[in-house]
Structure 1
Amino acid sequence: MKQFKFLLPVLLPVAFLFGCNQSNEQCELPSGYKDNLSYIDIIRMENLYFENITKEKILANLESYPEFSKAMFANIGLENQEQLAEELLLIHQDSGMIELYQEVKKIYGDISDIKTELENAFAGIKYHYPDYKIPTVYTFVSGFGSDLIVTDEVIIIGLDYFLPEDHKFQPVDLPNYILKRYNRAHLVPTIVTAISSQFNKTKLTDRSLLAEMIYYGKSYHFTKTILPCTSDELIIGYETEEILGSYANEEMIWGHFIENELLFETNPFVIRKYTGEAPFTDEISPDAPGRIGRWIGWNIVDDYKEKNGLSLTELMEQDDAQLIFKNSGYKPRRL
């Protein structure tokens, strides 16, 4: 399969055209979002499970926070709460877990910024979906057992996964190209992208690469709409150079999909090469970032919504990937 060389020298003009995301200081949320602002409390469950912990306190926590307990501890598989409490007591008295908790507490003692970002995000969602019920938000330290749990009822943030990149505690099961997205700045965009799945309609019978590209494109478009002051880098998890290089080479990238007749490919192994986690998309170029199919899908979806004058809710309801592509008028940018 033919590979291409990314045209990195043209990044400067591309940066001018596409890389000028407004800073948070310059950007204001739409007035309609502000009208839907609801203040939330983030429940710091890690404090309840590490500070002066006893079996009796754990049993009280299990009873007082049943939604959290069900979502967080269901996979332990113990028969009753007495056994669960005994197991959790052993875990949270472990010296390594205590040290991890203390390190998280240093970094995330103050999470007022995360609280504000989530409140703004929920306001945006409620503007478009007035019936949306804001889930209860918890933080926790799981010993790298769970990074994020997002359901209709709860959001549980495993803060130990989001320590700084240079911190001595890091999850051992994540490669560096994924780990670089596990930080404070990416946290709320990642949560909003996960929430988007509640609204992202898709045809389960369409297992094509195009359908997967469009699905991810809709999810990123949702996140960008809800978080208009957030950069594309934080939404898709690319470095700035990867964003700019992709725009500089968009025509070549798209040509690869067309020349190799990939859009209607249904082989999951082939699809994974273009939308799955990877440090780069080697089938196109060693310089092409991984998940490039998702990025192309985002551009197609943006063009479709703009060309057809749709609301966010109308876009998310559209489950026909082929129709979205056909009516997008998508063409790579010529720079």
Structure 2
Amino acid sequence: MKKIESSFILCLIIIVFACCGKGDATQSDKVLFGQEPEVKENVRIHRFEVALFAPSKESTREHLLSIEKDFKPMFAASLSDNRYMQVVESFVEDREMKRAYKEVKQEYPDLKFLEKELSEAISRMKQIRKDSVKTDIYTLMVGPMEYSYAYENRILVYPEFSAISIDLYSMDRLSEHPYYKSMPKYLQSSLTKDNIVPDYVYTYLREITFRDVPLQSMNPEASFLDCIIDEGKYIYATQAVLKDCKLNLILRYTEKELEWVEKNESNIWGYIIQNQLLYNKDRTKYMHLTAQGPGTKNIAGSPSRIGYYIGYKIVQNYMRENSVSLDSLFKISDSELILRESKYKPENH
């Protein structure tokens, strides 16, 4: 089966809408989340992959037509379109996809744990801004796809619906499967069951809660400081929402990688200052400190994205020094002010 056909679900969704230690709470919930009372949300996850691959006495075509109404957001076109129907049929009937589905179902016989954790997280996120919507949440399988594209889009959050690529969070079982073995080991370590909730919360904060806040990564005039402070805010907010989540899961680090950045924080900061990167707007000069990869170029033994860890630490210090809500934090666009008022000064370990 062609790659474009087997990965139709995630691609078409996008086209249509073109934790080492526990969290370190530096402020009380009343300060971070405001006085808005928490409204308990009850999340139910719709398992598209289960519906797709469920045994049926009907023909594949008849079965797909029978589930179309309940999973309409997962279909980018009407199944009455014969060409589109053929693509979907090919995906469902593919032998390797069926084998992958069996592994996913064994890994996730049910998603009660995920529904519980996301219910709690979304309840807290809606406290930050009460106009935040609760989207319908679906899980799905993407199958074979270019790994970097699949990884970057493993969780999609829109006001209308959310989609979690549950097969990508089954890499313990699928790492040698022909459709998934191209996923690098350094990415597989952050594709576990424990990564789903922090990844979802991080994405929800960006796409729903603070959707009106411009992302500095999209600003061609942004400095290195702007970019790492921006990312640091989202890491800090994710940690505030998930108080009991391990920090390494939020950062998408292994425990050893988190230990490395903690021990080398002052050295990373010194490298940034020595190379005059802090206020640099030339991304080619500092991209090695923010890019995803097996490590950071020219810094032996380091994980990737170490610049973002520094951004998180600056924001964490700022929140310790200032009684500010999360909503107010994201309204501050002056990264130099945050750095200055954070009184950030990493210590040698």
Q: TM-score when scaled to structure 1?
A: 0.83
Matched residue SS, 1:265: coil
Q: Which amino acid aligns with 2:186?
A: Y
Q: Which amino acid aligns with 1:65?
A: F
1:179-232 deviation digits (Å, cap 9, x = unpaired): 110110111101111112131724535322111111110110111011011010
Matched residue SS, 1:58: helix
Larger mean CA deviation between 235-244 and 213-222 belongs to 235-244
Q: Which amino acid aligns with 2:268?
A: I
Matched residue SS, 1:197: helix
Correspondences of 1:32-47 after superposition (within 5 Å): 35-47=38-50
Larger mean CA deviation between 165-174 and 111-120 belongs to 165-174
Larger mean CA deviation between 144-153 and 92-101 belongs to 144-153
CA distance in 1, matches of 2:240, 2:257: 22
Alignment partner, residue 159 of structure 1: 166
Correspondences of 1:50-61 after superposition (within 5 Å): 50-51=53-54, 52=56, 54-61=60-67
1:45-102 deviation digits (Å, cap 9, x = unpaired): 11221122622332343444332323xx7xxxx9973321221012101111111111
- Indicate whether 1:314 and 2:328 are aligned: yes
Q: Are the counterparts in 2 of residues 162 and 183 from structure 1 also a CA contact under 8 Å?
A: yes
* Cα distance change, pair 156–33 in 1 and its aligned pair in 2 (3 A): farther
Q: Are the counterparts in 1 of residues 117 and 197 from structure 2 also a CA contact under 8 Å?
A: yes
Matched residue SS, 1:262: coil
Alignment partner, residue 239 of structure 2: 224
Q: Are the counterparts in 2 of residues 68 and 154 from structure 1 also a CA contact under 8 Å?
A: no
Matched residue SS, 2:137: strand
Alignment partner, residue 330 of structure 1: 344
Shift of 1:144: 4.0
Alignment partner, residue 256 of structure 1: 271
Q: Are the counterparts in 2 of residues 144 and 158 from structure 1 also a CA contact under 8 Å?
A: no
Unaligned stretches of 5+ residues in structure 2? 1-19, 24-28
Shift of 1:326: 2.5
RMSD: 2.7
Q: Which amino acid aligns with 1:314?
A: S
Shift of 1:293: 0.2
CA distance in 2, matches of 1:43, 1:142: 16
1:300-325 deviation digits (Å, cap 9, x = unpaired): 11112221211011112222222222
* Cα distance change, pair 172–33 in 1 and its aligned pair in 2 (3 A): farther
Matched residue SS, 1:171: coil
Q: Are the counterparts in 1 of residues 122 and 134 from structure 2 also a CA contact under 8 Å?
A: yes
- Indicate whether 1:286 and 2:271 are aligned: no
CA distance in 1, matches of 2:295, 2:336: 26
CA distance in 2, matches of 1:155, 1:109: 20
The structure 1 segments of at least 4 consecutive aligned residues displaced by more than 6 Å after TM superposition are 29-34
Correspondences of 1:104-143 after superposition (within 5 Å): 104-143=104-143
Q: Which amino acid aligns with 1:155?
A: S
CA distance in 2, matches of 1:137, 1:59: 21
* Cα distance change, pair 33–172 in 1 and its aligned pair in 2 (3 A): farther
Q: Are the counterparts in 2 of residues 247 and 333 from structure 1 also a CA contact under 8 Å?
A: no
* Cα distance change, pair 281–50 in 1 and its aligned pair in 2 (3 A): same
Shift of 1:157: 1.3
When the two structures are aligned, how many residues end up with a matched partner? 305
CA distance in 2, matches of 1:20, 1:108: 26
CA distance in 2, matches of 1:266, 1:287: 26
Q: Are the counterparts in 2 of residues 144 and 161 from structure 1 also a CA contact under 8 Å?
A: no
Matched residue SS, 2:22: coil
Between the two proteins, what is the percent identity of the paired residues? 25
* Cα distance change, pair 34–333 in 1 and its aligned pair in 2 (3 A): farther
1:6-31 deviation digits (Å, cap 9, x = unpaired): xxxxxxxxxxxxx6437xxxxxx999
* Cα distance change, pair 20–175 in 1 and its aligned pair in 2 (3 A): closer
Alignment partner, residue 297 of structure 1: 311
Matched residue SS, 2:156: strand
Q: Are the counterparts in 2 of residues 33 and 120 from structure 1 also a CA contact under 8 Å?
A: no
1:155-198 deviation digits (Å, cap 9, x = unpaired): 11111111142544362342111111011011110111111213
Q: Are the counterparts in 2 of residues 189 and 235 from structure 1 also a CA contact under 8 Å?
A: yes
